Amino acid sequence: MTPQELRAKKEGDLAKMLLEEREHLRDLTFRLSGAQLKNSHELSVTKKKIARILTILNERRKQAA
């Protein structure tokens, strides 16, 4: 999902997406430690999604203040 698409979403939707991505990252980490994860690149992709969402949420909080 591009940053433009994320900026179009409401803050509540972004918070929900953030929780889902963090759960997904936790699941990937557990699968990696158990040697069940075949595509380790998915970890970095998920981390970048989380960073994008956090960046947009922080931008909005700074604009509101």
Residue matched to tokens 């939707």: 13
| pLDDT recorded at residue 65 | 86
| pLDDT recorded at residue 21 | 97
| pLDDT recorded at residue 1 | 81
Q: Where are the domains of the chain?
A: 3-64
| pLDDT recorded at residue 8 | 94
Residue type, 19: L
| pLDDT recorded at residue 7 | 92
Per-residue pLDDT tens digits of the chain, which is 65 residues long: 888 999 999 999 999 999 999 999 999 999 998 988 888 899 999 999 999 999 999 999 999 88
CATH number attached to the domain at 3-64: 1.10.287.310
Tokens of 39: 């595509």
Tokens of 23: 């759960």
